[in-house]
A and B are shown apart, each in its own frame.
Chain A
Amino acid sequence: MNAQPQIFGTYLFDGAAAQRGYALNKMCYSFNSAANREAFLAGEEGYMRAYGLNEAQAQAIRARDVLGLLHAGGNVYYLAKFAGILKLDVQDLGAAQTGVSKDEFKARLVAQNNQPDHL
Chain B
Amino acid sequence: MRKQKRILIYGYGNPGRQDDGLGIAFSEAIEKWADKNQIHHITCDSNYQLNIEDAELISNFDLVLFADASIEDIKEFTLTRVKCSTSKIEFSMHAVSPAFVLDLCNKIYKKSPETYLLHLKGYEWDFKEGLTPDAKHNLKEAVRRIKKVILQETGPNELAQASSVC
* A and B interact physically: no
B residues with a Cβ closer than 8 A to A are: none
A residues with a Cβ closer than 8 A to B are: none
